[in-house]
Amino acid sequence: MSALRKLVVDGPFHMRRGVLDSPTIAFETLGALSPQADNAVLVFTGLSPSAHIASSPDDPSAGWWEDMVGPDKPIDTTRFFVVCVNSLGSCFGSTGPASINPATNTHYRLDFPVLCLEDIAAAGAQVLDHLRIDRAHTVVGASMGGMTALAFTLLHPGRSRRLVSISAAARSLPFAIALRSLQREIIRRDPEWHQGRYDFEKGPITGMRLARKLGMITYRSAAEWAERFGRERATAEPPHEHPFGIDFEVESYLEAHANRFIGAFDANCYLYLSRAMDLFDAADHGGTLERALSQVELEQALVIGVESDFLFPAHQQADLATALAPHVKDVDFKRLSSIQGHDSFLVDMDRFRPAIAGFF
Amino acid sequence: MSALRKLVVDGPFHMRRGVLDSPTIAFETLGALSPQADNAVLVFTGLSPSAHIASSPDDPSAGWWEDMVGPDKPIDTTRFFVVCVNSLGSCFGSTGPASINPATNTHYRLDFPVLCLEDIAAAGAQVLDHLRIDRAHTVVGASMGGMTALAFTLLHPGRSRRLVSISAAARSLPFAIALRSLQREIIRRDPEWHQGRYDFEKGPITGMRLARKLGMITYRSAAEWAERFGRERATAEPPHEHPFGIDFEVESYLEAHANRFIGAFDANCYLYLSRAMDLFDAADHGGTLERALSQVELEQALVIGVESDFLFPAHQQADLATALAPHVKDVDFKRLSSIQGHDSFLVDMDRFRPAIAGFF
């Protein structure tokens, strides 16, 4: 069973650096839209999740934010109409590099235009149009989704009353750019990538596995792993005498995560979405961040950062909250002491649930 | 011109997990040994440097620690006899996986025994024997060299009066292990690695380039790069429309570093040395770190850590200093506020020179 709904755009969809002909934008909804259409919570996702944010009668499988969204949960679907969009450029229903280009009847692959987070935000706005929602109650996003949510408020002022930005940033800094650039290069250097023209049944599996391992290293924190793994050995055996077997438990953990990722995500889509994060800079929408943010028409904003996040460090999120403050009446910045790093919003529910529930 | 000297061990050299037949241990010396043979400073290096620590009449080219070692420099070669050892397992004169195995007359490659930092330390002790030095004035090391220097004091109590450990640790923690394990896997997954049996003229160049980029990311700090690169573009042009060109200055910087590394280091040697760091745990020499360190016969120790180092975090070095304190009369821990991360000892001379000069 699937709760996935699809909107096919009628005609051209103008991206910042290209045009798509009638793309599909996939989304899921939970709860019911109020008669006044004033209870919509629009959610943009991180790089890898689908639109399946939580279980529903139409799709009872657990979603990627199952603990946060549902009846009587912090984002309470008995009160709110939750709309979660599969990012344009992704591969879970929305048009992306793995989709068929109607102009050529072959897959887009690298013919897909350069993707920007602004394009993903614009696709989200089209979903609101389609659902006849003039103004969302709140636009929410974590990680890449938080940057996209910010892009949404910049491109579509007034289309959301509120913003919740979690473990995101107003721009990518060089350390995060370096890490993502390296992940992309690892994929591109896999001989099986074939300049993007790989067989979809095979593709750059090794590159994707290695990029995922690097991702996992940047999504968690040294402190969490020291506590969780220490120097625990992967087996009761002494280290393999082959010089490059797996010695330590942390290596087994990465191996398991990498293996789970394979087949779940298209390599070209990954490359496009990853680069879109690097390219994003809210300041592009006004010359400076301050001028850009003067355009958002928000009543309230909640910015959440995590101390142990080194991919989207808390100081960048404090900066975002500070820059929003002159333009938004009610801005709250929460700096959480979770030890799980960037991924804390997915796992540290003891800290994240009250922070989100308090807002809603 | 070369200042490299070589000691050929007479007979078997027992490693922790194997035996080498008459290995060569390469080293350089600067300054003169005093008649009492009490002014030797034994230096172990990080993973990639050679024994060429500084320029000398025999080799006037700049060494890897040129600013620190020389006449009237913090490690003053008019007073001290500096002995810098090329690590066993490396490829700059000492026997390693790229050397010929006398038993087979072919290169060792993966037939080289599992390498431990203790083996590198033992090779350093043989150099002291060869030079007829009973006790070094000080054993010094940074990064992997600091771990090796600690191993030296554990294996050879009393052979050095003093220890200087810089940006090192008593053991590798899972975050650092994960990063190094991934670097090794990136090299091994390069089809040109051929299970270690690559053509020395070619080899896994792509894997080495990517591993070096990951290394550079872990050797510096996010704060330094934010200051140095910000979101500066690699060219004055707008970002390449090819989705995966180099967009940002930080990507050009990594590219340049990766290219410089190629041809300079043997891939198998890199794999062995990298894993040796992961395997090291000073606690192996006594059951606990505290019991292990009770064996060191040191008069004085200086432990230096850098706040922005996330590969060998300062808290690990504070822990080492604390654990040394009950057993060493004079232990000083310096926590430096350099922003260049793990590599600060190579570049932040304003902070490192006085710290080292003060000790000597």
Mean pLDDT of A293-297: 95
Mean pLDDT of B219-224: 94
Alpha carbon distance B332, A335 (integer Å):
34
What is the tens place of the pLDDT at every residue in A49-97? Answer: 999 999 999 999 999 999 999 999 999 999 999 999 999 999 999 999 9
Question: Is B12 or A244 the better-scoring residue by pLDDT?
Answer: B12
Paired sense of beta strands A18-21 and A12-15, if any? antiparallel
A342 catalytic residue (yes or no): yes
Residue B81 has a pLDDT of 98
Closest to A48 (Cα-Cα) out of A279, A199, A262: A262
Cβ pair A174:B226 closer than 8 A: yes
Alpha carbon distance B158, A105 (integer Å):
76
Residue B233 has a pLDDT of 87
User: Is a pLDDT exceeding 60 seen at residue A238?
Assistant: no
Residue A235 has a pLDDT of 67
What is the tens place of the pLDDT at every residue in B12-52? Answer: 999 999 999 999 999 999 999 999 999 999 999 999 999 99
* Angle at the Cα of B172 from the Cα atoms of B253 and B227, rounded to 5 degrees: 30
Question: Is B66 or B262 the better-scoring residue by pLDDT?
Answer: B66
By mean pLDDT, which of A235-239, A259-263, B149-153, B341-345 is the weakest? Answer: A235-239
Which DSSP symbol is given to A86?
Answer: P
Is B272 in CB contact (< 8 Å) with chain A?
yes
User: Is a pLDDT exceeding 70 seen at residue B240?
Assistant: no
Mean pLDDT in chain A? 95
CB distance B223 to B339 below 8 Å:
yes
Residue A180 has a pLDDT of 98
DSSP 3-state of A8: strand
Radius of gyration over alpha carbons of chain A, in Å? 20
User: Is a pLDDT exceeding 60 seen at residue B355?
Assistant: yes
User: Is a pLDDT exceeding 60 seen at residue B323?
Assistant: yes
Chain A residues within 8 A of B17 when measuring between CB atoms: 241
Mean pLDDT in chain B? 95
Task: Give the closest of A210, A271, A278 to B248, CB-based.
Answer: A278
As annotated, the active-site residues of B are: 143, 309, 342
Closest to B9 (Cα-Cα) out of B99, B141, B110, B107: B99
Residue B199 has a pLDDT of 95
Mean pLDDT of B129-157: 98
Is B210 in CB contact (< 8 Å) with chain A?
yes
Task: Give the closest of B217, B239, B242 to A178, CB-based.
Answer: B217
Closest to B166 (Cα-Cα) out of B186, B196, B144, B194: B144
Cβ pair A177:B217 closer than 8 A: no
Work out the pLDDT band at A262, boundaries 50, 70, 90.
confident
Question: Is A40 or A263 the better-scoring residue by pLDDT?
Answer: A40
- Residues of chain A with pLDDT > 70, as a percent, come to 98
Measure in Å the smallest separation between the Cα of A104 and chain B Cα atoms: 19
Task: Give the closest of A175, A248, A310 to B278, CB-based.
Answer: A248
Measure in Å the smallest separation between the Cα of A289 and chain B Cα atoms: 13
Is A290 in CB contact (< 8 Å) with chain B?
no
- Residues of chain B with pLDDT > 90, as a percent, come to 93
Which residues are CB-contacts of A302 (< 8 A; sequence separation ≥ 6)?
A162, A163, A164, A165, A331, A332, A334, A355, A359
Measure in Å the smallest separation between the Cα of A20 and chain B Cα atoms: 16
Work out the pLDDT band at B263, boundaries 50, 70, 90.
confident
What is the tens place of the pLDDT at every residue in B169-205? Answer: 999 999 999 999 999 999 999 999 999 999 999 899 9
Closest to B138 (Cα-Cα) out of B94, B83, B66, B56: B83
Cβ pair A17:B189 closer than 8 A: no
Segment holding B289, helix H or strand E: helix B289-293
Residue B99 has a pLDDT of 98
CA A2 to chain centre: 21
Residue A29 has a pLDDT of 98
What is the tens place of the pLDDT at every residue in A141-161? Answer: 999 999 999 999 999 999 999
User: Is a pLDDT exceeding 60 seen at residue A241?
Assistant: no
Is A225 in CB contact (< 8 Å) with chain B?
yes
User: Is a pLDDT exceeding 60 seen at residue B160?
Assistant: yes
CB distance A124 to A148 below 8 Å:
yes
Work out the pLDDT band at B262, boundaries 50, 70, 90.
confident
Is A169 in CB contact (< 8 Å) with chain B?
no
User: Is a pLDDT exceeding 60 seen at residue A246?
Assistant: yes
Alpha carbon distance A310, A153 (integer Å):
25
Residues of B numbered 58-87 whose beta carbons fall under 8 angstroms of chain A's beta carbons: which are they?
A: none
Radius of gyration over alpha carbons of chain B, in Å? 20
Transcribe B30-46 into DSSP letters: ES---TTS--EEEEE--
Kindly state the tokens that stand for A212. Answer: 């995922």
Task: Give the closest of A173, A188, A243 to B272, CB-based.
Answer: A243
